[in-house]
Every structure is written in C-alpha cells, then in structure tokens.
C-alpha cells in the first residue's frame, strides 16, 4: 500500500476511535454547594442521596459561617447553590443579583446551651452564662448564630462576655467538646450531632429567635437546572425527612 494511503487509513482509524470514545464516555457534572456550617452532617446525607438519584453527578460542599460564604459569593466565588442559616445573609446574595429566582425556606433551628458532659458547672439558664469565672464561647457577628445570640441578649437584658467569638457554630461546639470553654451557644442540631460529648441545656428564650434557613440556585451556575434539582431535593420529601431526623424543624 502506498505510504500516503497508509497514512490516510491510519488517520481515519484514529478519528473513528476518538469519536467512539467521546460518544460512549459518561457525562460528568460537578455541583458546588455553599452551605452553612450547621448543615454539614445533614447535607452530606442529602448529597449522597442526590448522587444516587443523579448518576454522573458529583456534589462538592463548602461549609462555613453563612456570612463568610455570602461575602465570598459577592466577591466572585463560583458556586451553584447557596444555603444560609438565616435570611439576612441570603438577602445580601439576592441584592447582589446572584440568585436564579427566589430562595426557598426549608428548615429552622434554635439555639441551645452546651456544656461538658454531666453539666459540671450546673448551668440551668441563659442568665447563668454571666456567672463569674465561667468561660463562654459564642458565634461572632454577623454569623447567624451570633445574630440569634444578640437578639436573645436584647430580649432578656442579659449580656454575655464571651471569652471568644467564633466564625461558625461548629467552631463554638469544638471549643466546648475539647474543654477549651465551659459552655457555648450552638443550634439544637449541633448538640444532637455531638451526642454524649456534651450536655445540652434548653432555655425558653431561644424559641422566640429561631433561625430560618433559605436555599437558592445561583444565576452564574454552569448547571442551573441541576442546581435547581438539588434545591428541589432539599425542599422536597427526601430532604425534609433527612432534616427532621437530624433535629431540624419546619421553616
């Protein structure tokens, strides 16, 4: 066979193989979800279910304080979905024109005091957190758990003097579980997830300042329809069942 014909045949075979490879390779999509730190455990469960129901889709989570995530988004960070621990941070993202439609409220959460197992400091009320010698940690402003703490302080007239103010509710919980603080203010769901590492002390004032969680698909997403499908999973029967099992209340 002449050399030029051999080369032509070889080129045709390579092109054919590449075409077949392209046609048979599965579609692969990456969904990036920015979510409040308090959603970590439950969203990982929902993400696993979502991947099972949507073959070829990977879900990557970025968990942090809602205010930190909202700032990242307004400064140009790329993501497909945003789930906040309060409406204030979602409003910042909405006002920046970053949402693909209106957000949907999908859960609510209330604060609870956590102390070392057995409650050795005998903390029984919100006011007890002001006792001399007691080291207390809270979330900083404008993190939603910090905003909720401030609203309780304003409502009760009891103002705390925390030894530290953390960037996320999981950081507050960690300070208590590792013995770096005597007590902290976290969500009911965080106390549940900690199990026997803490004792949870409920107080009545928390009920009036429940945080509502909104979620929305982001306009600049590379997979808007897929992002909206994830939102639908969170707000639908599957997500709501997992949220309820983890201690979240209805919005």
Give the sheet arrangement for strand 81-83, strand by strand. 57-64, 29-36, 81-83, 211-217, 104-109
Instruction: Please check whether residue 10 lies inside any domain of the structure.
Output: no
Q: In this structure, are 117 and 186 located in the same domain?
A: yes
Q: What is the mean pLDDT of residues 89-96?
A: 98
Q: In this structure, are 227 and 160 located in the same domain?
A: no
Domain CATH code at residue 223: 3.40.190.10
Instruction: Please check whether residue 61 lies inside any domain of the structure.
Output: yes
The three-point CA angle 140-146-151 to 5° equals: 135
| Structural domain range at position 225 | 29-107+213-246
Q: pLDDT at position 9, please?
A: 42
Q: In this structure, are 56 and 134 located in the same domain?
A: no
Q: pLDDT at position 164, please?
A: 97
Residue 198 annotated as lining a ligand binding site: no
Q: pLDDT at position 206, please?
A: 96
Instruction: Please check whether residue 16 lies inside any domain of the structure.
Output: no
Instruction: Please check whether residue 198 lies inside any domain of the structure.
Output: yes
Whole-number Å distance between alpha carbons of 193 and 94: 31
Residue 135 annotated as lining a ligand binding site: no
**Banded pLDDT at 3 (limits 50, 70, 90):** low
Q: In this structure, are 115 and 78 located in the same domain?
A: no
Mean pLDDT for the chain overall:
91
What CA dihedral angle connects 176, 179, 180 and 181, to 10 degrees?
50
Instruction: Please check whether residue 176 lies inside any domain of the structure.
Output: yes
Q: In this structure, are 154 and 96 located in the same domain?
A: no
Q: In this structure, are 70 and 158 located in the same domain?
A: no
Q: In this structure, are 202 and 126 located in the same domain?
A: yes
Instruction: Please check whether residue 115 lies inside any domain of the structure.
Output: yes
Q: In this structure, are 67 and 35 located in the same domain?
A: yes
Instruction: Please check whether residue 242 lies inside any domain of the structure.
Output: yes
**Banded pLDDT at 144 (limits 50, 70, 90):** very high
Residue 164 annotated as lining a ligand binding site: no
Whole-number Å distance between alpha carbons of 211 and 107: 8
Q: What is the pLDDT of residues 205-245, one digit of tens each?
A: 999 999 999 999 999 999 999 999 999 999 999 999 999 99
User: Looking at the 3D structure of the chain, how many domains does it have?
Assistant: 2
What pTM was estimated for this model as a whole?
0.85
Instruction: Please check whether residue 172 lies inside any domain of the structure.
Output: yes
Whole-number Å distance between alpha carbons of 114 and 82: 28
Q: In this structure, are 198 and 151 located in the same domain?
A: yes
Q: In this structure, are 69 and 189 located in the same domain?
A: no
Q: pLDDT at position 1, please?
A: 52
Residue 169 annotated as lining a ligand binding site: yes
Please give the full DSSP string across the chain, using - where no structure is assigned.
--HHHHHHHHHHHHHHHHHHHHHHSPP-EEEEEEEEGGGHHHHHHHHHHHHHHSTTEEEEEEEE-HHHHHHHHHTT---SEEE-SSHHHHHHHHHTT-BSS--EEEEEE-EEEEESTT-TT---SSGGGGSTT--EEEEPTTSHHHHHHHHHHHHH------SEEESSHHHHHHHHHTTS-SEEEEEHHHHHHHGGGSEEE--GGGGGGPEEEEEEEBTT-TTHHHHHHHHHHHHSHHHHHHHHHTTPBP-
Q: In this structure, are 122 and 190 located in the same domain?
A: yes
Prior bond to 215 cis, omega within 30? no
Q: In this structure, are 103 and 218 located in the same domain?
A: yes
């Amino acid at each position: 066979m002449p050399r030029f014909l051999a080369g032509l045949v070889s080129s045709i075979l390579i092109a054919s193989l590449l075409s077949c490879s392209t046609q048979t390779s599965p579609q692969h999509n990456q969904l990036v979800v920015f979510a409040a730190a308090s959603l970590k455990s439950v969203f990982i469960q929902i993400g696993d279910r979502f991947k099972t129901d949507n073959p070829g889709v990977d879900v990557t989570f970025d968990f942090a304080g809602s205010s930190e995530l909202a700032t990242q988004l307004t400064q140009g960070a790329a993501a497909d979905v945003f789930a906040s621990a309060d409406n204030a941070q979602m409003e910042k993202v909405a006002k920046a024109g970053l949402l693909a439609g209106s957000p949907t409220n999908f859960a609510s959460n209330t604060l609870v005091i956590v102390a070392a197992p057995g409650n050795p400091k005998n903390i029984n009320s919100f006011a007890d957190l002001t006792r001399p010698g007691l080291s207390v940690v809270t979330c900083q402003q404008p993190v939603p758990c910090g905003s909720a703490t401030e609203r309780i302080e304003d409502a009760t007239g009891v103002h705390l003097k925390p030894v530290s103010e953390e960037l996320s509710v999981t950081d507050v919980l960690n300070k208590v579980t590792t013995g770096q603080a005597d007590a902290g203010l976290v969500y009911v769901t965080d106390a549940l997830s900690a199990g026997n590492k803490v004792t949870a002390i409920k107080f009545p004032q928390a009920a009036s300042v429940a945080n509502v969680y909104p979620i929305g698909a982001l306009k600049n997403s590379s997979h808007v329809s897929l992002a909206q499908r994830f939102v639908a999973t969170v707000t639908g029967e599957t997500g709501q069942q997992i949220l309820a099992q983890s201690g979240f209340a209805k919005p």
